Amino acid sequence: MAALALASLAGWGAAAGAQDAAGAPRAEGSSAPRADVRHDGAASTLVLYDEGGPWGWMGELYAASVGNLVSHFGRWRAMPVGRYRAGDLARHDAAVYVGSTYDEPLPAAFLTDVLEQRTPVLWIGDNLWALARHAGSERFQQRFGFLPGEYDPRRVEAVRYKGVELTRDAVHNDAKLVGVTLPPAGGARVLATGVARGGGTLPWAVRGGHLTFVAENPLTYATERDRYLALCDLLFDLLAPGTPERHRALVRIEDVLPTDDPARLRALADALAAEGVPFAVAVIPVYVDPRAAYSDDGRPQRVTWSDVPEAAAALRYMVAKGGTLVMHGYTHQLGTRPAPYTGVSGDDFEFWTAHVDANDRVVLDGPAPGDSEAWALDRARRGLRELERAGLGRPAIFEYPHYAGSAADSRALAGVFPNAYHRGLYFAGVLGGEKGPPARSMGQFFPYEVNDAYGWHVLPENLGNYSPKAFNGHPPRLPAELVANARANRVVRDGFASFFFHGYYDPAVLVEIVRGVRQAGFTFVSAASLAAGSPEPVRAAAREPRGARQ
């Protein structure tokens, strides 16, 4: 059951809009990449965002999401657009502005620089009409070959990009696209089109000169086959246009516990090795059942890898067959209380609290009691000691149980583990602004490696997991859906198809998914070949050459 709750974070997170509260200003921030993942040098990107109105606090979260994405290409700097000063564009290779507050006052210096300079600009969402007013319609059209207008009243249900129809959540997302007029021989190019309910299309992304315009904010309500992927790919045009096509894949065996059947672990390794597929193993250092929920004798249990030599040998066998160990929390549960299920390792949250509501939905409540950097570091060190004591080495990659932890936890853990292998959860204040309640947050998945705002080098997981039964309000997710997710992700010119699989399911299903992802045009690579920092000492299989990350 382990990551199923956060397979819900797969649907919940994916850059799905933040939750409500009142806004707050912030100071500018920056993020230096932990590892260079750009193909042809390090770009410098200026990320600008709104902060006005009752939802102004969301601007910082949108900026952090954009910053995480552009970190794939190099350095970035974020600040409220109201703090822009003349010449800031010229000091960067490109700029991204997220217009999230209707009619946010935009500095004349910013409008003038966008109009007159040649720095590539990606303008997302609202307020392009302010630039058109500043320039005058005739001059704007001469400069960029199109004109922004009023919101188009049609309900857009999909976005067509590179011949692929990407989803758009028209149930929850009733936001309208900004209308775009394309005069004859205007010179602008439509990069993607919105598909309206009942038929008809309208421009979704347009490029004219050095300005690329996306007619809505695709950082909201995103899922694995969403139009968010088009945004992720458009950033290559902005920052690395010469990038060749390359499609890689990752697979992770999830929630591996000391109590697992050693024969099952070996069978999973053999199945993937027979396919020539390297894989990651999300290992939980200590199994705890404090309430005897699954205990045969009615007594609480605590089992470490040192207590079960056969299981530890099976884990080493997995490494020898091409596995890379990922530390998946310390106990993958939280004290003696359900969070939200049984209190047993693999079932519950560890760094967060949660409950299941009357509609059978997981509700994230807030950080664990006593949460702090010191508390998170203590759990990390305890977990590492247990793995080392069992002769399993020291993983350089961390994965949050159910993908949830506080900002304090993330900043602390990034100092211990250079790499994370999960979807991100980001909170108000992440770029230095005013902090708010935990509900002021945003989840995000990535179709490629990034260096996130917490300082982690993040390996992507962007397809979700196999789940044959409905759970917590989420429908089953079968192999065909994971493969369809992979096919949609091919619109990202140098992206990944990355999924995870629980070891208690049939290895034959795992092989079915692997083969489907391969047939979709992806090549499996090892997590170790992507990781920043030193590989774990236990790794026995040959590490891919560093050049594989070009």
Neighbours of 412 (CB within 10 A): 21
pLDDT average, residue stretch 62-83: 97
Least confident of 101-110, 171-180, 203-212, 500-509: 171-180
Whether the CB-CB separation of 114 and 85 falls below 8 Å is answered with: no
Q: Which residue ranges form the domains of the chain, and what is each CATH number?
A: 28-239 (3.40.50.880), 248-423+461-542 (3.20.20.370)
User: What integer pLDDT is reported at residue 172 of this predicted model?
Assistant: 87
Q: Is the pLDDT of residue 35 over 70?
A: no
- Report the distance separating Cα 226 and Cα 223, nearest Å: 5
With left for phi above 0 and alpha for psi between -120 and 50, is residue 376 left, alpha or beta? alpha
User: What integer pLDDT is reported at residue 6 of this predicted model?
Assistant: 42
The 10s digit of each residue's pLDDT in 267-281 is 999 999 999 999 999
- Report the distance separating Cα 428 and Cα 205, nearest Å: 28
Neighbours of 362 (CB within 10 A): 24
Q: Is the pLDDT of residue 534 over 80?
A: no
- Residue 385 has which token pair? 């000691």
User: What integer pLDDT is reported at residue 185 of this predicted model?
Assistant: 83
For every residue of 246-287, DSSP letters joined together read EEEEEEEEEEE-TTS-HHHHHHHHHHHHHTT--EEEEE-SEE
With left for phi above 0 and alpha for psi between -120 and 50, is residue 386 left, alpha or beta? alpha
Q: What's the alpha-carbon Rg for the chain, to the nearest Å?
A: 23
Report the chain's mean pLDDT, rounded to a whole number: 90
Task: Confirm whether pTM is higher than 0.85.
Answer: yes
- Report the distance separating Cα 140 and Cα 151, nearest Å: 19
- Report the distance separating Cα 526 and Cα 543, nearest Å: 8
- Band (pLDDT 50/70/90 cuts) for residue 533 is low
User: What integer pLDDT is reported at residue 435 of this predicted model?
Assistant: 86
Q: Is the pLDDT of residue 120 over 80?
A: yes
The 10s digit of each residue's pLDDT in 448-504 is 999 999 999 999 999 999 999 999 999 999 999 999 999 999 999 999 999 999 999
User: What integer pLDDT is reported at residue 541 of this predicted model?
Assistant: 29
| Helix, coil or strand: residue 375 | helix
pLDDT average, residue stretch 388-394: 97
Instruction: Single out the residue of 49, 188, 208 nearest to residue 124, CA to CA.
Output: 49
- Report the distance separating Cα 304 and Cα 315, nearest Å: 13
The 10s digit of each residue's pLDDT in 412-424 is 999 999 999 999 9
pLDDT average, residue stretch 499-524: 98
Mapped to the 3 state alphabet, what secondary structure does 407-422 carry?
HHHHHHHHCCCCEECC
Q: Is the pLDDT of residue 518 over 90?
A: yes
Least confident of 12-21, 49-58, 151-160, 488-497: 12-21
Instruction: Single out the residue of 33, 40, 463 nearest to residue 223, CA to CA.
Output: 463
User: What integer pLDDT is reported at residue 96 of this predicted model?
Assistant: 98
- Band (pLDDT 50/70/90 cuts) for residue 117 is very high
